[in-house]
């Protein structure tokens, strides 16, 4: 199947985008992880002559972005997801090495570090099961500090809370659902995830 990203390039500019949704505020609790180091003395060491105190050094979090590429997600929504990836890369200080993108429908695809958001192949188009994306994200080395799932919500969710912060970005949808079953109603995102609206 051809890359969905190639079809979304012409529509990306028309998507309304609020970078505060899955950007710095959503990953704010994990926006910087602190570790102590003796490489730089603490500024409080002046108060204790003869004692070397460590300083707190902060690093931006590692973020795994799982993008729902099932057939229920439109090209415009995929374009919006790519804009969110760009905002997330900015939120971690522009360090694209800390952001990994996984395209997922019923199976997780290859993990890509974004050079440019437009260059990420978003293949898929089948059913939806983001649990495979969560599993693949947690198998990354090094393990992410935050998992961001960008989806329309028509997916089963993991039974257990992942060992890292989780943000679910939901594409706006009406109250009508169509998954080949007129009585279908998607599961709501789990309570352990922070849910934000995209777009």
Check whether residue 78 and residue 45 sit in a common domain: no
Q: What pLDDT, in 10s, does the model give residues 13-60?
A: 222 223 344 444 444 444 455 677 777 777 777 777 777 777 777 778
Contacts 24+ apart (CB under 8 A), 189-194: 189/153, 189/157, 190/157, 190/158, 190/161, 192/161, 192/166, 193/149, 193/157, 193/166, 193/167, 193/168, 194/26, 194/165, 194/166, 194/167, 194/168
Check whether residue 14 and residue 109 sit in a common domain: yes
Check whether residue 99 and residue 51 sit in a common domain: no
Check whether residue 78 and residue 172 sit in a common domain: yes
- Which residue numbers in the chain have pLDDT < 50? 1-31
CATH number at residue 125: 3.40.50
Domain final residue, candidates 59, 74, 106: 59
Check whether residue 145 and residue 85 sit in a common domain: yes
Check whether residue 94 and residue 151 sit in a common domain: yes
| pLDDT confidence of residue 177 | 55
Residue with tokens 């998507």: 15
């Amino acid at each position: 199947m051809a890359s969905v990203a190639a079809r979304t390039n012409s529509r990306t500019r028309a998507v309304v985008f609020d970078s505060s949704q899955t950007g710095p505020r959503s990953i704010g609790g994990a926006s910087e992880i602190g570790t102590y180091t003796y490489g730089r003395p603490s500024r409080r060491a002046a108060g204790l002559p003869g004692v070397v105190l460590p300083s707190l050094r902060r690093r931006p979090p590692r973020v795994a972005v799982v993008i729902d590429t099932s057939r229920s997600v439109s090209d415009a929504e995929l374009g919006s997801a790519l804009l969110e990836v760009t905002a997330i890369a900015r939120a971690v200080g522009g360090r694209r090495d800390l952001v990994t993108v996984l395209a997922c429908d019923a199976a997780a695809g290859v993990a890509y570090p974004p050079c440019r958001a437009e260059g990420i192949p978003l293949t898929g188009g089948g059913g939806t099961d983001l649990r495979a994306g969560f599993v693949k994200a947690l198998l990354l080395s090094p393990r992410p500090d935050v998992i961001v799932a960008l989806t329309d919500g028509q997916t089963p969710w993991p039974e257990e809370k992942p060992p890292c912060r989780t943000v679910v970005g939901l594409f706006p949808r009406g109250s009508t659902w169509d998954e080949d079953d007129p009585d279908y109603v998607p599961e709501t995102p789990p309570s352990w995830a922070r849910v934000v609206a995209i777009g």
